[in-house]
């Protein structure tokens, strides 16, 4: 790697010199030789300096800047390295041959005596370090020019595109969850409160009518009953859209609420050490809730087990039941859960056949893809 980078700097000095000569002597023919030299520089950058680039339309402006950096910077770096090697090699030869001579060093208040090979070796190591830093500076400057004029290469563009799609995909999941929260708040703070007020007014009207029989009293009573049912349905819809307990109390409390509403025995084993990222907790919650709902509604399960576990990097939820089985992973509910889990770089699996119960497992990274 080091030798290849050094070769890149050396060849950059040579190609830079050629480019400067052509810029001075053959400027009218730049339309012919400039694209060829740009292609040569692109190959040198990729092979020797590890910088991929686009087959763009950079021309003489790029070549002029690159030639100045390559010739001046490369010459300084190579010269310093060469002198450092001379010092280091000479010091080692003198030390091995035993031809070293003492050298007196006098400073204000201090007088030192050392060997000539020690001074040469110290200077050589220092110059080699400086030359290495110069090479790195030249390589960094060349890469910056390449990114500025030649742009990212296919691999870099693909990497950026993958990162962008991953972040966008997880961002969509977060946006959906945020919209769910907003709708739940609107239902709770708006529609549901008006429903409560309506039920209270109807209750007062029924109380005011007392036991007086008549069509009006019957209608008020029926309206009061319907308003109470409407409130219950609104609470159920708001809970299905997004449970406030998930944000306020955490995943354990939210799943305990699902277990209480399931209508059949649901055992939740919570093996998580603490809170997770909001999108991960939300995904785990909806996987567990949908699996429990399907087991009760479609499979006729009488006993459901939910197990939450984690390791160093991932967290898992597994829901198993004793129902009739036959869950269809391509169905609307399960396929939606699978897309949600996959959007967070997770894995979703449904196992079990007819008559043998069903097992739903979702595995998610603790740190989801971020923007």
In this predicted structure, the answer to whether residue 107 has a pLDDT above a threshold of 60 is: yes
Strands 266-270, 314-321: pairing kind: unpaired
How many angstroms separate the CA atoms of 313 and 122, rounded?
Answer: 48
* 141 and 208 part of one domain: no
Average pLDDT over residues 143-156: 74
Residue scoring higher pLDDT (344 or 126): 126
* 205 and 340 part of one domain: no
Average pLDDT over residues 254-263: 85
For residue 318, what are the domain limits? 249-365
* 204 and 133 part of one domain: no
pLDDT tens-place string over residues 6-55: 888 888 888 888 888 888 888 787 777 777 888 788 878 778 777 776 66
pLDDT the model gives residue 125: 92
Q: Name the one residue in this structure whose structure tokens are 């196992």.
A: 351
Residue 163 lies in a domain: no
Which segments of the chain does DSSP mark as H helices, in order? Answer: 2-25, 30-48, 60-68, 74-97, 116-149, 154-186, 192-209, 215-241, 244-248, 251-261, 278-297, 332-343
pTM of the model: 0.49
Average pLDDT over residues 348-355: 75
* 134 and 230 part of one domain: no
CATH at residue 281: 3.30.565.10
pLDDT the model gives residue 35: 79
* 129 and 9 part of one domain: yes
* 23 and 72 part of one domain: yes
pLDDT tens-place string over residues 234-251: 666 655 666 777 777 888
Torsions phi, psi for 191 (to 5 deg): -60, -45
In this predicted structure, the answer to whether residue 304 has a pLDDT above a threshold of 80 is: yes
The number of distinct structural domains making up the chain is: 3
pLDDT tens-place string over residues 199-224: 677 677 766 666 555 666 667 667 76
* 11 and 120 part of one domain: yes
Residue 162 lies in a domain: no
pLDDT the model gives residue 259: 87
pLDDT the model gives residue 80: 92
Average pLDDT over residues 105-132: 82
* 104 and 236 part of one domain: no
pLDDT tens-place string over residues 49-90: 777 766 655 667 778 888 888 889 888 998 999 999 998 988
Residue 211 lies in a domain: yes
pLDDT the model gives residue 176: 62
Last residue of a domain, one of 152, 185, 207: 152
Burial class (CB in 10 A: 0-12, 13-18, 19+), 284: buried
Residue 289 lies in a domain: yes
* 205 and 318 part of one domain: no
Residue 370 lies in a domain: no
* 138 and 6 part of one domain: yes
Question: Residue 129: pLDDT band by 50, 70, 90 thresholds?
Answer: very high
Average pLDDT over residues 178-187: 60
Which two structure tokens, joined as six digits, stand for 352? 């079990």
How many angstroms separate the CA atoms of 284 and 346, rounded?
Answer: 11
Summary mean pLDDT of the chain? 78
* 140 and 236 part of one domain: no
Which two structure tokens, joined as six digits, stand for 273? 């050490």
In this predicted structure, the answer to whether residue 130 has a pLDDT above a threshold of 80 is: yes
Last residue of a domain, one of 120, 152, 184: 152
Among 95, 88, 96, 89, CA closest to 126: 88
Residue 278 lies in a domain: yes
How many angstroms separate the CA atoms of 183 and 176, rounded?
Answer: 11
Collapsing DSSP states into helix, strand and coil, what is residue 356? coil
Residue 23 lies in a domain: yes
pLDDT the model gives residue 338: 82
Residue scoring higher pLDDT (320 or 100): 320
Torsions phi, psi for 115 (to 5 deg): -100, 150
């Amino acid at each position: 790697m080091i030798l290849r980078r050094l070769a890149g700097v050396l060849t950059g000095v040579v190609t830079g010199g050629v480019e400067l000569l052509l810029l001075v002597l053959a400027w009218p023919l730049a339309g012919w030789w400039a694209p060829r030299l740009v292609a040569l520089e692109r190959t040198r950058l990729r092979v020797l300096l590890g910088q991929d680039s686009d087959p763009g339309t950079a021309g003489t402006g790029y070549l002029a800047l690159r030639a100045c950096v390559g010739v001046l910077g490369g010459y300084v770096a190579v010269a310093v390295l060469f002198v450092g090697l001379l010092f280091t090699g000479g010091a080692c030869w003198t030390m091995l041959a035993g031809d070293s001579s003492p050298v007196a060093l006098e400073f204000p208040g201090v007088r030192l005596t050392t060997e000539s090979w020690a001074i040469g070796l110290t200077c050589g190591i220092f110059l080699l370090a400086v030359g290495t830093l110069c090479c790195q500076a030249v390589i960094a400057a060349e890469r910056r020019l390449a990114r500025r004029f030649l742009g990212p290469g296919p691999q870099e563009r693909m990497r950026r595109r993958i990162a962008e799609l991953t972040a966008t995909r997880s961002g969509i999941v977060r946006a959906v969850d945020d919209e769910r929260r907003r709708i739940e708040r609107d239902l709770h703070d708006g529609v549901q409160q008006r429903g409560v007020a309506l039920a209270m007014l109807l209750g007062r009207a029924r109380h005011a009518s007392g036991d007086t029989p008549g069509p009006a009293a019957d209608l008020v009573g029926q309206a009061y009953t319907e308003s109470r049912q409407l409130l219950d349905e609104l609470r159920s819809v708001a809970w299905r859209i997004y449970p406030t307990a998930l944000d306020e109390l955490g995943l354990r409390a939210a799943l305990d609420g699902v277990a209480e509403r399931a209508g059949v025995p649901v055992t939740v084993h919570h093996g998580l050490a603490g809170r997770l990222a909001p999108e991960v907790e939300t995904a785990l919650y909806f996987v567990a809730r949908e699996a429990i709902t399907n087991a009760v509604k479609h499979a006729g399960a009488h006993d459901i087990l939910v197990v939450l576990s984690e390791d160093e990097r991932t967290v898992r939820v597994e829901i198993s039941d004793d129902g009739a089985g036959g869950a269809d992973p391509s169905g609307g509910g399960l396929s939606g859960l699978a897309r949600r889990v996959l959007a967070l770089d997770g894995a979703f699996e449904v196992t079990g056949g007819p008559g043998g119960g069903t097992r739903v497992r979702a595995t998610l990274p603790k740190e989801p893809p971020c923007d």
